[in-house]
Amino acid sequence: MSLLLKTTKIINDWTDYNGHMNLSYYILVFDKSAEIILSKFKMGEHAAKTEKKSTMVVETHTTYNNEVKEGEEVDVFISNFDHDKKRLHYKLEMYEKNKNILSATTEVLSLYIDLNFRKVAEFEEEKLRDQPLTTDQHIALAEKFGPLETHAYVKGLKDYPEIVRIIKAEDEKNQWGENWHSDVSYNFKPTKAVILKSIKIPPVGGDTCFSNMELAWETLDEKIKDKIKDKKAIHSSLGAEFFIKNYKKMEGNNKKNYDEYSNEHPIVRTHPETGKKILYVNWTYTKEIIGMGKEESDEILKQIFEHQARLDLTCRFNWTENTVCIWDNRSVIHYAIADFYPGKGLGYERVMDRIAVEGDNPQ
């Protein structure tokens, strides 16, 4: 689950007599990339000067894997991220850009600091939450990640066909995306990333769970790995009715292409930017392992789906209005929890604006 933060070219001043970058400058490159994260929290250099809010590193672990040289470019990705009211924890990975070779990693644990009093402070949650983007700003943000796609079955907003407005009405029981899935994994080129913005959120419930499929592959039983590592699976689109029938405020695409279609993808795909292995099946759209009998295929998929839902692979995201959530759709699966419908006495509407970025054919 990785997102590119920054690309940096190695200059002469950072290198030794052999032209290799000195160890201390690996830290510099990581720090410059981390500043991008900190600025989003208003805890970076500018905030330290203007608001007296910053962070203090209390623990760090850096691993050096391969040397980089003068003139080479490195990409720094954020591969793990978590925070609470007092702490910020993240992991960064540095790759040599042309060869896509892992050069170094660093894992950092920081505390939030109030510089006025020189003591640990609590993080203000609204700095992450309150992002009242206009529709044009939402589009512009999504385009930073690549070309945008339109949904095969669901009609987008007027004048903004790339934005699907996901609406669960007050009296509806079903929630769009309420089972584990990777968005449009049935496409020949499934979605790369999703930028989801909350418009209207129920006062209770409506969270989204995410599960890390890189970790899912790493922790999968070795016997299952041996059976599936070179196999492909069929992913089905399920047809238009799956996306619009139970949602009276969701409108079908004008093309009226309601037919089901499918594509085959490797069960274990490789992330095109980091080279990491990803367990690329999901409960909603993956229907069959190619080259296996139905009984064996069903049993192995059942075991995999149960493994993917393990709590230690997951996190739960609590929405508030005007929150923007961005995820790498190749590396995670997600589940929109339907716990606010009338059958539970919670008849609330939930409205989200979804933009998806075009991906590649899984390899």
For residues 191 and 183, give the distance between their C-alpha atoms in angstroms, rounded to a whole number: 6
DSSP tag of 246: T
Residue 92 clears pLDDT 60, i.e. is over it: yes
Give 176's pLDDT tier (boundaries 50, 70, 90): confident
The predicted-structure confidence for 52-84, as pLDDT tens digits, reads as follows 888 888 889 999 999 999 999 999 999 888 777
Q: Tell me, what's the pLDDT at 175?
A: 80
Strand spans (E) along 218-329: 232-236, 262-266, 268-270, 277-279, 286-289, 314-317, 324-328
Give 113's pLDDT tier (boundaries 50, 70, 90): confident
Is 309 part of a structural domain of the chain? yes
State whether 101 and 188 are in the same domain: no
State whether 279 and 325 are in the same domain: yes
Answer for the pair 280, 268: CB distance below 8 angstroms, yes or no: yes
Is 195 part of a structural domain of the chain? yes
The CATH number of the domain holding residue 97 is 3.10.129.10
E strand or H helix that includes residue 47: helix 45-50
State whether 158 and 78 are in the same domain: no
State whether 117 and 149 are in the same domain: no
Total domains, the chain: 2
Q: Tell me, what's the pLDDT at 345?
A: 64
Q: Which of 100, 127, 154 is the last residue of a domain?
A: 127
Which structure tokens are listed for 250?
A: 């969701």
Q: Which of 127, 160, 178 is the last residue of a domain?
A: 127
State whether 72 and 190 are in the same domain: no
Is 362 part of a structural domain of the chain? no
Is 324 part of a structural domain of the chain? yes
The predicted-structure confidence for 258-301, as pLDDT tens digits, reads as follows 678 899 999 999 999 888 999 999 999 999 999 999 999 999 99
User: CA-CA distances (angstroms) from residue 175 to 244, 246, 333, 348?
Assistant: 11, 9, 16, 11
Is 25 part of a structural domain of the chain? yes
Q: Tell me, what's the pLDDT at 178?
A: 86
State whether 268 and 349 are in the same domain: yes
Is 235 part of a structural domain of the chain? yes
The predicted-structure confidence for 133-145, as pLDDT tens digits, reads as follows 899 999 998 998 8
State whether 230 and 81 are in the same domain: no
The CATH number of the domain holding residue 334 is 3.60.130.10
Is 166 part of a structural domain of the chain? yes
State the residue range of the domain holding 88.
3-127
Residue 161 clears pLDDT 60, i.e. is over it: yes
State whether 338 and 235 are in the same domain: yes
Q: Which of 68, 97, 127 is the last residue of a domain?
A: 127
pTM: 0.70
Residue 127 clears pLDDT 60, i.e. is over it: no
State whether 104 and 142 are in the same domain: no
Is 232 part of a structural domain of the chain? yes
Amino acid at 361: N
| C-alpha torsion sign, points 305, 332, 319, 108 | positive
State whether 214 and 277 are in the same domain: yes
Q: Tell me, what's the pLDDT at 257?
A: 60
Strand spans (E) along the chain: 3-9, 53-64, 73-83, 87-96, 101-114, 119-120, 148-149, 163-168, 193-200, 208-212, 232-236, 262-266, 268-270, 277-279, 286-289, 314-317, 324-328, 332-336, 350-357
Looking at per-residue pLDDT, the higher value among 127 and 171 belongs to: 171
Mean pLDDT of 19-30: 92
State whether 47 and 193 are in the same domain: no
Strand partners, 256: none
Q: Tell me, what's the pLDDT at 52?
A: 82
State whether 118 and 264 are in the same domain: no
Mean pLDDT of 164-170: 90
Amino acid at 231: K
